[in-house]
Amino acid sequence: MSTATVIGGGPAGLFAAETLAAAGVTVTVHERKPSPGRRFLLAGHGGLNITHSEAREPFLSRYGASADRIAPMLERFGPEDLRAWCEDLGEPTFVGSSGRVFPQAFRATPLFRAWLSRLTELGVTLERRSLWTGWDADGRALITDANGQPGAVESDVTVFALGGASWPHLGADGAWVEPFRARGVEVTALRPANVGLRVAWTDVFVERFAGAPLKNVSLTVRGSGAPPQRGDAMLTRTGIEGGPVYAIGAAIRSALDVAATGGAPCVLEVDLRPDVSADQLVQRLGRRRPKDSASTWLRRAVGLDPASIGLLRETDSGALPSEPAHMAALIKAVPVRVTDTMPIDRAISTAGGIAWSEMDDRLMLRRMPGTFVAGEMLDWEAPTGGYLLQASFSMGAWAADGALAWLGSDD
């Protein structure tokens, strides 16, 4: 019987293990932490957003430059497949008002317990506190077991699913990068994705508005060409975060790179009223009462809340334009200068990873036949909303299929 080693006990690794075991392969999973799936379980604390109900084309667009590579993986195991898998584990799903998909229990724990039970039934061996440290001279994976004893593991195929570097306390610390590079595998730098931005707010603004939401705004990175992103953002003590911020993360990082080399600063333009045209704003703002203060004028004419008005003041040392056209232009593109992202250990996910050129179409490393990679180790990214988890499951299935094909070719 063929054997497989899976290194990493997150969604990509465990789903690869399930797929392999269901095909009759003897599978051992090595997880460095005392228990697997810690990030998966943490994600479920506020409601496990496991995938999204969006139509295929917009769904694929969420993966940016990697969409063409990920597309066949989503065909292999897409959102409907993932929902059916959840239901088969006794956890049916529902579609929320935003199109996001959640288990009916809304939490990750019941689903994950059922999943571990299935893996046990399939004969998967889960080795906890089992740390991968590299390879020996014969290319075998080096594992230090729960007792601190190092040794080499031999199997017919190996699947790596070690995550990125954004959750070091849960095991995803990026320590795998250097061993892979030492083997000649190209790994692009790991950088924070789905992460808050740093903005040098004034003390007065922080005191009044830190923690306040900006409801239904549209965000654009000046000069990037990236499409605007709609949603709710959150003002923080150190900057701004939220769904639309995360969705333009790649454009923000590119703009920050330009700024770091002496180019134009990274400016986030906030449209506070994306459903109202500039001309309509001018018309409404033109009905200002003589005794109205600027705040009253903006509240009555346009419906801006205190946080939005505070943001307008923050851009120009508190001075606001009084001419309707100028004010309308500012409301449609409030410039917020971004100085940096928050650090990688504050990020939801990671950009960068093993370059696509290092893998064949089945996610096998060209330099290491019989070794497959899946999940956030690869050089791709996606916004929050179920896209990250969906791709991790899809990649786990795809890598396992590749491993099975490799095993079959050796028969």
The tokens for 61 are: 């667009």
CA of residue 162 relative to chain centroid, distance: 15
The tokens for 22 are: 């269901």
Neighbouring C-beta atoms of residue 237, cutoff 10 Å: 12
When mean pLDDT is compared across 37-41, 180-184, 197-201, 395-399, the lowest value belongs to: 37-41
pTM given for the model = 0.94
> What are φ and ψ of residue 270, in 5° steps?
-105, 115
Q: Output 409 or 367, whichever has higher pLDDT.
A: 367
Neighbouring C-beta atoms of residue 374, cutoff 10 Å: 32
The pLDDT of residue 208 is above 70: yes
What would the mean pLDDT of 25-40 be, rounded to a whole number? 96
Confidence of residue 62 (pLDDT cuts 50, 70, 90): very high
Confidence of residue 319 (pLDDT cuts 50, 70, 90): confident
Q: How far apart are CA 381 and CA 192, in angstroms?
A: 10
Summarised one tens digit per residue, pLDDT across range 1-19 is 899 999 999 999 999 999 9
Summarised one tens digit per residue, pLDDT across range 115-171 is 999 999 999 999 999 999 999 999 999 999 999 999 999 999 999 999 999 989 888
User: Cα dist. 244→172, 270, 276, 349 in Å?
Assistant: 25, 10, 18, 15
CATH 3.40.50.1980 fits 3-192+351-409, yes or no: no
CA of residue 91 relative to chain centroid, distance: 24
Confidence at residue 317, expressed as pLDDT on a 0 to 100 scale:
62
Where in the chain is CATH 3.50.50.60? 3-192+351-409
